[in-house]
Structure 1
Amino acid sequence: MFRVVIYIGMFVTALAIYVLQRFSLPLPSVINNYANDLFCLPLLLGAMEFTIRHLKKDKDFKFPLGFVILLASYYSFYFEYYLPSFNQRYTADWADVILYFIGGLLFYFSENKKGVRLLGKGLQDI
């Protein structure tokens, strides 16, 4: 249930940022330029995972880490390298690439409690 609340909160926040941008209302530059890049993959992966779980009738379905990394790589290439070459609306920004990967990895580790426990255990050993 907590994940659903977080997901809805991210969705509403991303939608509010988008609407404010469309109406050209001022936002702090960090929020205007980077927040939706961070939310992008968790929102996309969450929607995809929800859909696959219902279609397959498998409530335990989870994306493997390789898929999350592949999707973050694809988004990085497409939105930060390919599109800026053809459309002035898009600009290449390495910070966006990092945010795609951070968002994807946060999604992965939040969905895989075993991975979170391993990460936490590793941090305790330092």
Structure 2
Amino acid sequence: MNKKLSIYCISSILLGITIYLFQYFNISLPKIINNYLNDFLIIAIVLYISLLFLRWSRNNSNFTLTLSIILYVCFMYSILFEFVFPNYLARYTKDYVDIILYFASGYIFYKLQNKLD
């Protein structure tokens, strides 16, 4: 597996957990981190876990996610979390910046996945 992709995604997971714990214990974070960083990290985390599962299930350590799959995941997160859920659940708010962050994260994942070690 691409070492840079693994480091990036594992760091994203650890950072996401840290931010969640800070929020859970009401530890103050800068507004940009509190409101946007998790939205940026989630796509890399979901894609990385999906990639690990697909490599394991297909018994193919060289399997990669196609650009269309990555774009699909970004698109679905955008639709669900920015248009559907805010209409039905008070916990979610519509924020168009999040859509940009989803696709930026997907782009970085795609570039790192296709980079040789």
TM-score bracket for this pair, using the shorter chain length:
over 0.9
Describe how 1:23-102 pairs up with structure 2 within 5 A.
Answer: 23-102=25-104
Query: In the alignment, is the contact (CA less than 8 A) between 2:74 and 2:103 conserved in 1?
Result: yes
Kindly indicate whether structure 1 or structure 2 has the higher relative contact order, using CA contacts under 8 Å at least 6 residues apart.
2
The CA RMSD over aligned residues, in Å, is: 1.2
Give the superposition deviation at 1:10: 1.3
Offset from partner CA, 1:8-60 (integer Å, 9 cap, x none): 21111110001111111110001000111111111110010011101111011
- TM-score, scaled to structure 1: 0.86
Q: Which position in structure 2 is the counterpart of 1:6?
A: 8
Find the aligned partners of 2:80 and 2:92 in 1 and give their Cα distance. Answer: 10
Which structure 1 residue ranges, 5 or more long, are not aligned? 115-126
Find the aligned partners of 2:5 and 2:109 in 1 and give their Cα distance. Answer: 10
Give the superposition deviation at 1:113: 2.3
Q: Percent identity?
A: 32
Q: How many residues align?
A: 114
- TM-score, scaled to structure 2: 0.92
> Against the structure 1 CA distance between its residues 112 and 2, is the aligned structure 2 distance closer, same or farther, given a 3 Å change threshold?
closer
Secondary structure at the counterpart of residue 113 of structure 1 = coil
| Runs of 4+ deviating beyond 3 Å | none
Q: Match for 1:6: what amino acid?
A: Y
Structure number, greater radius of gyration: 1
Give the superposition deviation at 1:6: 2.4
